[in-house]
Amino acid sequence: MFFETLGVILCAAGIVPALKGTTSPAARLGMFALILFTLLLFVL
């Protein structure tokens, strides 16, 4: 449970910088894919 919570907190903390850090939609998509992979790493 600890790792799942840690993963969710890390991913939630990355969403705003990932959205505001660039103007490129493709780069945002890539960053969100990485956030999703991070979440899967902690959850699975």
Partner 1 sequence: MKKLILTIQWLEWIRIKNRIWMLIFILLGFSMFAGSCEQQNVNFNFSYSSSESTNQPQPSASSPGIIATQPNTLSDKPQENIYSQLMSLLPLVFWTFAALFLGILVLATMPFRGREEWENGQFQLIFMGKYNQIQIQGARFIAYFAITIAFFMAVSINANFLALQKEWLTRETIINFQVLLTYWFFIAVPLMISYGGLISAINIAYYRDGDHKILTLLKYLGSMGLISLLIKAIQFLTNKEMSLFQPTVLNFEVNAQAIPIMIYWELLFIAATICAAFIYWSGKILEEVES
Where along the sequence are the contacts to partner 1 (CB under 8 A)? 10-11, 13-14, 17-18, 20-27, 30-31, 33-41, 44
Alpha helices in 1-44 (DSSP H): 2-20, 25-43
Smallest distance from partner 1 to CB 42, Å: 8
For 25, how many CA atoms within 13 A lie in the half-sphere containing its CB?
0
Q: Which two tokens stand for residue 17?
A: 């910088």
Smallest distance from partner 1 to CB 5, Å: 15
Nearer to partner 1, 4 or 27 (CB): 27
